Amino acid sequence: MGLELGFDDLLSFARSYLHNPSITPTSYDQLCIAAQKIRILCAPPNHNLAIMVLQPFSNFEGYTGAKREAAFERSRGWKRILDALGCDMLQVGSNDDAAASGDPDVIASDLAELADLMKPKRVAYENWCWGAHVRTWADAWAVVKRANRKNLGLCLDTFQSAGGEWGDPRTGSGRVEGEGEGDVDEKWRESMRQLAGTVPKEKIFFLQISDALMPAKPLAGRDEWSHKLRPLPYCGGYLPVEDMVRAVLKTGFRGWFSVEVFLEEEHGKEWEEGLEERWAWEGMASLERLLVECGA
């Protein structure tokens, strides 16, 4: 068993653990102290949990000048944190800043340099469906292939792919519109066939699992949808999650499955006894059913 560690959670823990509310995202000395404590808490005999990845390292690739220097300075700080955590993987979300370069060579070059800096740790590049230039799993895979680094691979995400290629919270139907319904379905099926047939299993570093709820009314963008309405599979969502899981399994991938759920209503609840244990059992039950339904 393992966990994804969110940087915001590390920051919050550091402020509490060190009794210092002024700790910032660049207070790397203090963040490393907090990371070492988290490592101890996760290790046996406490909880026996692997810290599988630190995330999300965002708004990184495609910059020039001072912004590029700042991005790489941040990457060096995050590497220190990874060392303190005893964690061997960094997740990078595709840049959603429209001012960043969309040149595939620039993006790939930046990811290659980051992978070299992070050695021997791994870098998992994830397409965010609201990204400025890299929005689909195929976009991300093209970058990873172009960068050509052994320790650079993919973080695939059922929400980011199904919610980008098939679903759309900005429409009344909750689906991609502007073409026939059958065309959208066929494009999605073809995308999954391509994923299953072209991505080597060893280049998939982990798979994030979540569904999406239909918004009560159309939203402004997919980023808002992502942060508020992402339940477990079989809990009211409507995306074709199983299609993607089957495609990923067909590659031969048998690595980390990570539950990544964002539910504004659930997460806004008052903390209560046993709440985190209930969430854990619900997540496990959902994953077990998903694997059965997908024939694994």
Is 67 among the domain residues? no
DSSP-derived secondary structure letter, 208: E
The domain total for the chain is: 1
**Order of strands, sheet of 204-209, starting from the edge strand that comes earlier in the sequence:** 2-6, 50-57, 89-93, 122-126, 152-157, 204-209, 256-259
What is this structure's pTM? 0.95
Domain coverage including residue 294: 151-296
CATH number at residue 195: 3.20.20.150
Is 75 among the domain residues? no
pLDDT at 271: 64
Residue pLDDT, tens place only, 270-291: 567 778 888 889 999 999 999 9
pLDDT at 66: 98
Question: In the predicted model, what is the mean pLDDT of residues 119-123?
Answer: 98
Is 189 among the domain residues? yes
Is 244 among the domain residues? yes
Tell me how many degrees the CA angle 293-126-114 measures, rounded to the nearest 5. 145
Is 101 among the domain residues? no
Q: Is 73 left (phi over 0), alpha (psi -120 to 50) or beta?
A: alpha
Assign 3-state DSSP to the chain and report helix, strand, coil percentages, each to 5: 50, 15, 35
Q: Where would I find the H helices in 148-213?
A: 158-165, 181-198
Query: 187 burial class (0-12, 13-18, 19+ CB within 10 angstroms)?
Result: middle
Residue pLDDT, tens place only, 12-44: 999 999 999 999 999 999 999 999 999 999 999
Is 1 among the domain residues? no
Is 96 among the domain residues? no
Is 45 among the domain residues? no
Q: Reply yes or no on whether the pLDDT at 117 is more than 80.
A: yes
